[in-house]
Each structure stands twice: as C-alpha cells, then as structure tokens.
Amino acid sequence: MTTQVNDNRYDESQLQAQFDQTIEAKDRIEPRDWMPEAYRKTLIRQVAQHAHSEIIGMQPEGNWISRAPSLRRKAILLAKVQDEAGHGLYLYSAAETLGATRNELTEKLIAGRQKYSSIFNYPTLSYTDVGTIGWLVDGAAICNQVPLCRTSFGPYGRAMIRICKEESFHQRQGYELLMTMMRGTEAQREMVQESVNRFWWPALMMFGPPDDNSPNTEQSMAWGIKTHTNDELRQKFVDMSVPQAEALGVTFPDEGLKWNEERGHYDFSTPNWDEFWAVVKGDGPCNEQRLAHRKRAWDDGAWVREAALAFAENQAAEAAADETPAAGVETTTPEESAK
C-alpha cells in the first residue's frame, strides 16, 4: 500500500519513493495509490491485451460447440468457453480500476489499436484442435499466468488467481480429450499428431518475442508487473510439455528438441519470428475473420448497452426525485414538530 492520490502533503518525489518502496517490498499497488503514469499505461496495455485475448479466444473453440462429438464433450466445451468470457470480464474490470473504460478498450481493439494473443489467429480445423488448444494453449497460459498471481498491481493479481484455477481445468480437459483419441484408432492418433504439429510453434510464440527483442520486459520486471522474462517462461513450458507428450505418445515438430544435461533443460530450435511478427501485425491466417466477428458482436450488442444505460439513468432519476422534497411539502417529521 502506498500513499493515497488525494493526499497533497506529499510532493511527487516522495510519492515516487513510496511507490518504489512498495515495489521493492513486493507489496501490492492498489487502484487509489499513487503510481507513475507510465506504470498505469503499461498495465492498461497488458491487462487490456490479456482481456481481449480471452474474448477473442472464445472464437476458435466456440466454432465447435454445435459440432461436439457427444453431449459430454459439448458440456465441457460450453463451460470452458463461458469461463473465457468470465476471464475477459474480470480483466476488463481490473483495467477499469486504472481509469480505462471497457467501451474505450473494445473500440481500440476493433480499430486495431490494441493487440490480442497471436495464437487466436490460427484456425481450428477439427475437434481434435479443442484438445490441443486445451493442452498446449491453456498449458502455455498457465505457465505465463501463475506468476502473474504475484504481479504488483492488486486487482490484476487477484483476478489471476481464479483465472488460473479455471485454466487448470481447461488444460486437463484438453489432455484428457487427446488421451482418449490416442487410445482410439490409428486415424484418430494421426489426427492428434497433425493437430499438435500445427499448434506447437504458435504455442511457443504466445510467450512473446525473445528477451533481446522484447522492448517492455526490462521495465515491466523492474515494476514487478512481470516476474519472469518471455524466454524463461518459454523454457519452462518446453520442459513441462516434453514428458506430457511422451506420456501421450506424440512428438513435437522440432528436430532440435533434445535434453541438455549441462543446462538441465531441453534445447529447442528458434521459432519463426518473422511469422510471429506478421501475425501480430495483422497478417495471420484468421486475423481479419476474428476482428470482423468481434466487431459484428459489438455492433449487434449496441442496443443492449444503450437500453441498460437508459434504464440506469431512469433509475437514478427516479431515486433523485424520491429524495427531492416536492415544493410546499413539510419535511419535518411529526415528532420533530412536537419538540
């Protein structure tokens, strides 16, 4: 906890010193605490991007709800996609505590002025991809997001606790789906391998550019927004995923993937960073489709937002009218008059 913004006994350098102390002590910054403008801006950028990813991330899997192979799979997928809507809402709420509005953030997303995770610009070609997304994409998300539970901004860290619990269910359902297919026919095993081949590299890219080309990491680490670098988390994910792949009976499409005794980690090849930047800049296989769909949903929902706003304004006006005494009406109670 640092000093409240409205405490004008402090000048800016004292406020900065208290902020630095809070960060140093790994304590939390709360919405009403003073914070440097650049810290606020960085957080809004990351939290908004995270929220957008959850909402856009509903599309590739939502695409398969009506074609689920069984009632059980349909119930699982529905629950997962609904969870993602919830994650988006907690995160937009966290961004709102920093002074951004959800409308403004969504409009920036639709105008292409804010990003969402590169992974959701790849298509889902069969139901197997639901399993692979659960295992690898949610697996990568867990790796990245568990450390964010200890991020320096309180509302973001607290939102992450619940999100991570739900991501853990998402990862397990994906792995279980793939395991079931691996116990099936040869054709099903081939479908799993083909899907894993398509998602492996995009999943590694989710962690962001390499550290020596990541403009935000150093400052975000100093502020305790990020607690690990992109490369550290990518390595953790590779180390965690290889034994899971072995248990499943699939391989990753990387000749360079080998255990390195000296490092105590798996070595792996360099992802295609040109592809990553092209996808981030809007040239992925599904960028256009994802944003067009989001824009359609936003436009279709305009009347709901307008109606909710009009209702809230009416309620507020009625409440205000109830509190305002009508002209000529005596406001003292009979007991008061008797005194």
User: In this structure, are residues 133 and 199 in contact, taking their beta carbons and an 8 Å threshold?
Assistant: yes
Instruction: Please name the amino acid found at residue 197.
Output: N
**Site of interaction with ligand BYC (CB under 6 A):** 45-46, 49-50, 53-54, 57, 84, 115, 117-118, 137-138, 141, 144, 205-209, 214-217, 220, 226, 230, 280
Nearer Cβ to ligand BYC, position 142 or 182?
142
Terminal C-alpha separation, the chain: 49
**Nearer of residues 60 and 252 to ligand BYC, judged by Cβ:** 60
CB of 162 to ligand BYC, least distance (A): 14
Minimum CB separation of residue 208 from ligand BYC in Å reads 3
Instruction: Pick the closer one to ligand BYC by CB: 63 or 214.
Output: 214
User: Are the beta carbons of 64 and 44 closer than 8 angstroms?
Assistant: no
CB of 136 to ligand BYC, least distance (A): 10
Name which of 152 and 220 has its Cβ closer to ligand BYC.
Answer: 220
CB closer to ligand BYC out of 15 and 56: 56
Residue number, nearest CB to ligand BYC: 57
Rounded CA-CA distance 1/22 in Å is: 7
User: Which residue number, 215 or 264, has a Cβ lying nearer to ligand BYC?
Assistant: 215
Complete DSSP assignment for 24-76: HTT--B-TTB---HHHHHHHHHHHHHHHHHHHHTHHHHHTTGGG-SSHHHHHH
Q: Which residues contact 188 (CB under 8 A, 6 or more apart)?
A: 181, 182
How far, in whole angstroms, is CA 117 from its chain's centroid? Answer: 8
Nearest distance, CB of residue 118 and ligand BYC, angstroms: 4
CB of 225 to ligand BYC, least distance (A): 8
Of residues 218 and 306, the one with the C-beta less far from ligand BYC:
218
Measure the CA–CA gap between 159 and 91, rounded to whole angstroms: 7
Taking Cα atoms as reference points, which of 169, 131, 76 lies closest to residue 250? 131
Phi, psi of 262 (to 5 degrees): -65, -45
Biggest CA pair distance of the chain: 94
* Shortest Å distance, C-beta 92 to ligand BYC: 13
Q: How far is the CB of 43 from ligand BYC (least distance, A)?
A: 10
Can you state the angle between helices 287-300 and 37-56, rounded to 10 degrees?
90
CB of 72 to ligand BYC, least distance (A): 20
Between residues 22 and 287, which has the closer beta carbon with respect to ligand BYC? 287
Residues 336 and 94: their CA atoms lie apart, in Å, by: 47
